[in-house]
């Protein structure tokens, strides 16, 4: 059993302003991109979490030099080629983003790469990157999951690929491989977060993007080297989402969350919560190196409505559904969330977990393999004892449970408090500050 969080009381009303930590997707991408430049790259507000530290450890193994002080990280990369002679051993820990993207980055490595991960990552699907990387010419000893061994090739051939899942990790893995292929790779990709496209554009890498209704067509030319990337990482909207819902479901509270990334490919949670009646506004909007940033202001909402959630918003809210389901549990009417099979492919099977936690909370719900119907009740009162045994240590299952305990009541024991180190190490510290 890991560290247990006990919560017995709802949170007191609050009126504060906070920062959440740096965006995880951007932090990992910055580390991996910087490893490809031989010049020094500097980042401020890089997320200091286990997923990002695993990324740093991997690029160190590959030959990059890294200095990470309080709020500043410097990387001098090893360029496009790995000089090591023997098999390279990499550990992606809990991070699907790192595990999948780094395989693309290593497409031109003639060393054997052995990639492992923790218990949760070892259950996740890697066929989604193995398939396109094989088209570039890489060889694998596995079909589907970790541990695996990959062998790249000196001159990968550009490919044409249709990415049908809407997985940004898969798209980005192909984009990193395309950087090293001679010629133009063409990816038709179902819509997903576009941070890599924006960073590549900013670095003046030859990339052309055509936006269609349901997918983008990306044409990317291979290059021989890239420039360094100096970056100030904005706050993570996925971390921010827990505090949006905390405020919405608390009495007489309001919160300003400063300097958050509001890239439209990430703001499905805002669209969904607003449609359910939440009071959320953006202040001080600006553009930073292609990314939209704003302060987000949110207030308690007394009248929440159910939603038939449009599937076109799924990809831009994919990491936020667990916390959105809590709002549905307090809303008037039946909410319906569909086409969410990908939720069961995350750090743990999250659709199954959501239904399980709602059952513990006596919130009626009907789950299928890819959908969830939630019968909301604005007047629900929770007084029972609830124990969450989070076997795969899923950080978002932990944080969802903590927010449920603080807003619905009851006597909760939640496992495993250490899981927040994956994406949001300051989560409990910020909660304590709000509850003072
Ligand atoms: C991420 C993409 C999403 C998301 C994950 C981070 C990324 O996963 O769930 O937390 O940084 O590219 P998929 O690519 O599997 O959709």
Q: What is the pLDDT of residues 355-387, one digit of tens each?
A: 999 999 999 999 999 999 999 999 988 999 999
CA-CA-CA-CA torsion for 269, 423, 61, 123, nearest 10 degrees? -80
Give the per-residue pLDDT at 1: 66
111 with 246, same domain? no
46 with 71, same domain? yes
246 with 390, same domain? yes
What is the CATH number for 403?
3.65.10.10
Question: Ligand 1 centre and the CA of 39: distance in Å?
Answer: 28
213 with 318, same domain? no
Tokens of 219: 């044409």
Active site residue 341: no
178 with 301, same domain? no
Inter-CA distances, 280 with 172, 236, 295, 313, Å: 31, 16, 10, 17
Between CA 15 and CA 20, with CA 16 as vertex, the angle to 5 degrees is 140
240 with 344, same domain? yes
Q: Containing domain of residue 147, as a range?
A: 24-229
Residue with CA at minimum distance from ligand 1 atom 13 = 167
51 with 18, same domain? no
Give the per-residue pLDDT at 374: 98
Q: What is the pLDDT of residues 337-352, one digit of tens each?
A: 999 999 999 999 999 9
Q: Rounded to an integer, what distance in angstroms lies between the CA atom of residue 127 and that of residue 26?
A: 24
Give the per-residue pLDDT at 20: 98
Ligand 1 neighbour 415 (Cβ under 6 A): no
Residue with CA at minimum distance from ligand 1 atom 15 = 167
247 with 225, same domain? no
Which residues neighbour 61 within 8 Å (Cβ) at sequence distance 6 or greater?
88, 89, 90
Of 229, 255, 281, the last residue of a domain is 229
Of 197, 229, 261, the last residue of a domain is 229
285 with 217, same domain? no
251 with 216, same domain? no
**Catalytic residue chosen out of the listed positions 118, 295, 319, 394:** 319
> pTM higher than 0.95 for the full model?
yes
11 with 36, same domain? no
Of 181, 204, 229, the last residue of a domain is 229
| Nearest atom of ligand 1 to the alpha carbon of 172 | 12
What's the pLDDT band for 230 if we cut at 50, 70, 90?
very high
Q: Rounded to an integer, what distance in angstroms lies between the CA atom of residue 333 and that of residue 64?
A: 54
Counting the structural domains of the chain, the total is 2
297 with 166, same domain? no
């Amino acid at each position: 059993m890991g560290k247990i969080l006990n919560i017995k009381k709802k949170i007191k009303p609050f009126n504060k302003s906070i920062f959440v930590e740096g965006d995880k997707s951007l932090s990992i991408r910055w580390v991996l991109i910087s490893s490809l430049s031989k010049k020094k790259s500097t980042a401020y507000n890089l997320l200091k979490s286990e997923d990002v530290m695993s990324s740093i450890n991997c690029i160190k193994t590959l030959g990059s030099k890294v200095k990470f002080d309080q709020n500043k990280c410097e990387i001098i990369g090893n360029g496009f080629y790995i000089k090591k002679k023997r098999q390279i051993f990499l550990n992606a820990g809990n991070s699907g983003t790192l595990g999948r993207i780094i395989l693309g980055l290593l497409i031109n490595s003639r060393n054997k790469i052995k990639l492992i991960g923790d218990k949760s990552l070892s259950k996740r699907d890697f066929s989604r990157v193995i398939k396109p990387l094989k088209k570039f010419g890489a060889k694998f000893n596995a079909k589907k999951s970790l541990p695996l061994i990959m062998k790249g090739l000196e001159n990968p051939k550009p490919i044409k690929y249709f990415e049908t899942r809407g997985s940004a990790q898969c798209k980005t893995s192909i984009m990193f491989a395309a950087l090293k292929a001679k010629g133009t790779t063409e990816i038709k990709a179902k819509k997903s977060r576009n941070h890599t496209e924006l960073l590549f554009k900013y670095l003046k890498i030859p990339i052309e993007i055509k936006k269609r209704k349901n997918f983008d067509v990306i044409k990317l030319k291979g290059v021989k080297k890239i420039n360094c990337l100096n970056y100030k990482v904005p706050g993570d909207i996925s971390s921010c989402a827990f505090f949006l819902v905390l405020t919405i479901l608390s009495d007489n509270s309001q919160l300003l969350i400063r300097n958050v990334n509001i890239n439209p490919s990430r703001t499905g949670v805002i669209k969904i919560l607003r449609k359910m009646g939440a009071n959320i506004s953006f202040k001080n909007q600006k553009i930073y190196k292609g990314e939209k940033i704003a302060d987000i202001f949110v207030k308690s909402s007394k009248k929440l409505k159910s939603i038939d959630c449009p599937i076109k918003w799924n990809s831009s809210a994919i990491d936020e559904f667990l916390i959105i389901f809590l709002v549905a549990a307090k809303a008037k009417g039946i909410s319906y969330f569909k086409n969410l099979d990908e939720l069961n492919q995350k750090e743990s099977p999250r659709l199954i977990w959501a239904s399980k936690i709602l059952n513990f909370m006596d919130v009626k719900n009907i789950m299928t393999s890819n959908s969830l119907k939630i019968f909301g009740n604005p007047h629900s009162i929770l007084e029972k004892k609830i124990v969450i045994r989070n076997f795969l240590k899923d950080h978002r299952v932990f944080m969802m449970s903590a927010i449920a305990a603080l807003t619905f009541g009851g006597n909760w024991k939640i496992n495993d408090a250490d899981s927040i180190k994956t994406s949001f190490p300051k989560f409990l510290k910020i909660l304590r500050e709000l509850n003072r």
